[in-house]
Each structure stands twice: as C-alpha cells, then as structure tokens.
A and B are shown apart, each in its own frame.
Chain A
Amino acid sequence: MRTLLDSFTFFGQHPGLMRDKTLAHLAISFASIGVALAVAVPLGVCLGHLHRGSFLAINVSNVFRALPSLAMISIGIGVLGIGFANVLVALVVLAAPVMLTNAYVAVEQVDRNAVEAARAAGMRAWQVLSRVELPLAAPLIFAGIRTGTVYVVATATLATFAGGGGLGDVIVNEPTYGVPGVIAGSLAITALAFAIDGLLALAQRAATPRPLRRQTRFSRTAATVTEPTTDRLVIQQS
C-alpha cells in the first residue's frame, strides 16, 4: 500500500519526466500505427473487394502474427542497430497482420446480394466499394485497427530495450527511479492502453453505420468486440 502511495507521489514529483516519456511513447506508437494502417488496410480492402488473395491476407498474416516482438526487436538491434527504425519495424509487424486480416475478411464477407443489388442499380466498382462494401465492413475493419493499435501502445514499452524511448524507460530503470518509479511507469502505460482502447471504441461506434449499431451495443472493451473477430478469422481458415 505504502509503495502504491509512493508511486502516486512519483507522478507529482516528476511531472516533466512522465509527460516527456508519454509523448515519446505516443510518437513511436503513432508512427508505427500510421505505417501499418497505410499498408495493411488498403491492401486488405482491395483483396477483399476482389475476393482474392486469402492466402496472403489470412495465412501469411497469421505467420507474421506469430513473431515474438522482443525477438524481432533483438534481431533488429543486430541488423538495424539501436533506435527508432528498429522499434518501428517490430511494431509494424505486430500491428499490420490483424489490420490486414480484419480488413480483408470484413470486405470479403459483405453480403453478396447487397453487392449485386448495388451493381444492378448501376453503381460502378468504386461506388460499390465506397457506398456499400466499406460502410458494411466498417465495424470489422475498425475492430482490427483497434486491436492493432492497443497491441502497439502496449508493446511500445519494449522499445526501451532498443533505445527507442517511451514509458518503458521509466519501468526498466529502477536504479534511478526506484520501485515507486517502476510502479508509476507501469500504471501510466496501463492507463494509456485503456485510454486509447476507450477512445477507439468511441471511434469504432462512430464509424459504424447507424442501423448496424444495435448489434455492437454491448461491446464495451476492446477485446469483447475484437476477439470475436479474431476468432472468426482463425476459425474460418481452419
């Protein structure tokens, strides 16, 4: 109990440190998420629209998902050296697979009747994609983005082992900050993960077309929405 109180006073004593480390943490996280988003989501949506490349979007993606992040970072230190680039690669590899698979399955599974009706109504391919497939796929695509983002924010803690900075610096530096610092860092990163998750839950709801919202009303935490998705993906390819 005493240590817990000490860790709260640690926040008060080191406001600058905690702010800087949190900002560095968010910087490396958002950079990685940005790259993963830019690569994975358009690719998944395209493949899903074309109903092609399930091997890439599901099987190859599953292999990448299996790679341990710390192992990626440690090999990265040897290949890319200490620093930002190394951590970026490891975090992109962490986030991209779940975004890719979800985006693919989301668009691929859109009701064929809806797509055919849209075509019959005279819509062009990109209109079908933007007005029918994407709105219907949005909840699942967003679930993937949300899971990937929470993974990245949580795992960016390991960046400290490769000199990437972030809140991990506080957690692993007991000699300087003491046990209260370690706990304060751990609490800060945990709070950050939950905050990002909560924000994305709101964004996910906003991205879901109104008629589809009722189904997701009970999904309050990241995992309750996203995991059925992952389940379905893996079940599907079994």
Chain B
Amino acid sequence: MLAPAGGPSPGPGPVIPRFGGGSSCVVHNGQFCASWFVDNFGSRFAPRLVEHIELTAIAVGVGMVIALAAALIAHRQGWFETPFSLLSAFLYTIPSLAFFELMVQVTGINRFTAEIALVSYTLLILFRNTLAGLRAVPPDALEAAQAMGLSRRQMLLRVELPLALPPIMAGLRIATVTTISLATVAAYIGAGGLGEPIFDGIQTGFKTEFIAAGGLAIALALAADGLLVAAQRLLTPWARRRRA
C-alpha cells in the first residue's frame, strides 16, 4: 500500500530519515527542493536517467530490427502482413502493468522481462510504418534502378529504404516516446530507469524525489521527440523541399 503523501497535517511531513538532515525544505517535505535535487542528481538521478535511455534504446533498436525484417518479408510475400499485424496489434493492446506482471511469472523480475514487453509494444507502429514506406516507393524509381542494372540488394539499400525513410522515421518517433513512457512503469518489475525514483518517492512520500524524476522523464521524452524530428529532417531533405 502507498504511504499517504503529506496529507493535510500541518506539522512537518512524513518522517523521511533517509533524506533527513538537510535543509528546512527537505525536512518539511516542500514541493520541490532544488538544492536537494542538485546535490543528489549525480548519485540518485543520473544513473537512472542513463538506465532509462538504455532501456529505451535497446527496446526500439531490437524492435526496429524485427519490424524491418517482418516488413521486408511482408513486402515480398503479401500473406505475411495480416498475421504479423494481428499479432503485434494484440500485443499492443495489453495494458503495460498487466503485461509486465504476466511476463514476470515467466521470466522473473529483471530487465530482460521488461525488454520483452517494451519490444513487443514497438512492433506494431514500426512494422506498419516501414511497410507503408516500402509500398509507397514510386514504381518509376524502381524501374529506373532496374534499368541502371542495380541488383536486388542494391535496390533495397540505395533506392527503397532511403525513399521509405520518412514514414520509418515517423514510426521511430512514436515508438521512442511510447517506450520512454512505458519504461517508467517497467521500474515496477525491477528494470531500473526513472520509474524507480518515481515509485520510491511515492512510497516514501518525499515530493521532491518523484516530482524531479517525473520531470526528468517528461524532459527525456520531449528531448527524444525533438531530436528525432531533427534527424528526420536531416535524413530526408527532399521531403521538406517537396512540401515547400
């Protein structure tokens, strides 16, 4: 059960021995004790932030490899699209906390379990966007490539994938922010990341800890979103020009 956070009691907030001995802000459990945050950033938050980025990068990376392979198969063999779509849609609809708890019964409380669930959530968006991108490649471009004598592999690497990049990047963007969000919940099954100080702070009732961790998670999501938009523009300058 959760410890009540503060509550209406006018006295000093909940007793927080682990954080005590600090400024009056910490002792009175103020909304956000900036100096405590700065003092503890290196020891408490930075490692969790790095873990969060790792969790997300691994999930999106593995998800992208699987989705790309599946999309390439579906692009060549049309029948493959429906079963893979249905499977990934099924996985995507399972609520995260339930998914994590159910996987814990199979693979235990650890990061691997969290990654299985996180990868599962990326598949749907990445698969659909990659396939949509591959299918939208103009036939003219393919014919021209063929006429120039490109092999199948060269066509894929030099014509099809580059032209499919805008929707693939858009999919990566959605998948990344979704994973950052779900990875906070993954801390509940011992995966680490920014969810850990969130849960820890909620349990102890120490406001600065969970507000800071929540703020960091939001900042991370927005930064990742912004970076991916920038990457998308850099990688696909033609898309921008066409629009203008």
Q: Which residue of B lies closest to A186 (CB)?
A: B98
Determine if B105 is an interface residue (Cβ-Cβ < 8 Å): yes
Determine if B63 is an interface residue (Cβ-Cβ < 8 Å): no
Report Cα–Cα, A168/B132, bound state, in Å. 36
Given A68-B181, A68-B218, A171-B98 in contact, is the A194-B167 Cβ separation under 8 Å?
no
Contact B101 A183, beta carbon cutoff 8 Å: yes
Contact A231 B170, beta carbon cutoff 8 Å: yes
The majority secondary structure among interface residues of chain A is helix
The 0/1 profile, CB within 8 Å of A marked 1, for residues 154-190 of chain B is 0000000000001101110110010011001100100
Q: Number of B residues whose C-beta is below 8 Å from A?
A: 63
Report Cα–Cα, A71/B5, bound state, in Å. 16
Contact A154 B95, beta carbon cutoff 8 Å: yes
Contact A190 B95, beta carbon cutoff 8 Å: yes
Contact A234 B93, beta carbon cutoff 8 Å: no
Chain A residues contacting B198 (CB-CB under 8 Å) are 70-71, 74
Contact B232 A157, beta carbon cutoff 8 Å: no
Q: Which residue of A lies closest to B88 (CB)?
A: A223
Contact A78 B184, beta carbon cutoff 8 Å: no
Q: Which residue of A lies closest to B220 (CB)?
A: A68
Chain B residues contacting A173 (CB-CB under 8 Å) are 1
Given A65-B177, A220-B86, A234-B170 in contact, is the A189-B95 Cβ separation under 8 Å?
yes
Contact A157 B98, beta carbon cutoff 8 Å: yes
Contact A234 B174, beta carbon cutoff 8 Å: yes
Shortest beta-carbon distance from B104 to chain A in Å: 8
Given A157-B98, A171-B97 in contact, is the A63-B31 Cβ separation under 8 Å?
no
Contact A70 B166, beta carbon cutoff 8 Å: no
Contact A223 B124, beta carbon cutoff 8 Å: yes
Besides A74-B211, A79-B31, A187-B102, 13 other CB < 8 A contacts?
A67-B218, A68-B217, A70-B217, A71-B181, A71-B221, A75-B215, A78-B31, A154-B94, A155-B95, A157-B98, A158-B185, A194-B93, A231-B167
Identify which of B85, B98, B124, B202 contacts A190 (C-beta below 8 A): B98
Given A70-B185, A189-B98, A238-B169 in contact, is the A161-B92 Cβ separation under 8 Å?
no
Report Cα–Cα, A173/B1, bound state, in Å. 7
Identify which of B167, B177, B180, B213 contacts A74 (C-beta below 8 A): B213
Determine if B192 is an interface residue (Cβ-Cβ < 8 Å): no
Chain B residues contacting A193 (CB-CB under 8 Å) are 93-95
Determine if B239 is an interface residue (Cβ-Cβ < 8 Å): yes
Identify which of B89, B166, B194, B202 contacts A224 (C-beta below 8 A): B89
Report Cα–Cα, A180/B215, bound state, in Å. 35
Shortest beta-carbon distance from A14 to chain B in Å: 17
Shortest beta-carbon distance from A172 to chain B in Å: 8
Q: Which residue of B lies closest to A179 (CB)?
A: B105
Contact A228 B218, beta carbon cutoff 8 Å: no
Q: Which residue of A lies closest to B233 (CB)?
A: A238
Q: Number of A residues whose C-beta is below 8 Å from B?
A: 56
Chain B residues contacting A62 (CB-CB under 8 Å) are 225
Determine if A61 is an interface residue (Cβ-Cβ < 8 Å): no
Contact A231 B199, beta carbon cutoff 8 Å: no
Chain A residues contacting B128 (CB-CB under 8 Å) are 227-228, 231
Given A197-B93, A221-B86, A223-B92 in contact, is the A70-B184 Cβ separation under 8 Å?
yes
Contact A71 B215, beta carbon cutoff 8 Å: yes
Report Cα–Cα, A173/B101, bound state, in Å. 12
Determine if B110 is an interface residue (Cβ-Cβ < 8 Å): no
Shortest beta-carbon distance from A52 to chain B in Å: 18
19 contacts between A and B (CB under 8 A): A67-B221, A70-B185, A70-B217, A73-B214, A74-B210, A77-B210, A78-B5, A154-B94, A155-B96, A185-B101, A187-B98, A190-B93, A190-B95, A190-B102, A221-B90, A222-B89, A223-B88, A223-B124, A230-B125
Chain A residues contacting B224 (CB-CB under 8 Å) are 66
Determine if B207 is an interface residue (Cβ-Cβ < 8 Å): yes
Report Cα–Cα, A185/B124, bound state, in Å. 25
Report Cα–Cα, A154/B202, bound state, in Å. 21
Contact A238 B232, beta carbon cutoff 8 Å: yes
CB-CB contacts below 8 Å: A121-178 with B:
150, 153-155, 157-158, 161-163, 168, 171-173
* 4 closest A-B pairs by CB: A186-B98, A223-B89, A68-B181, A154-B95
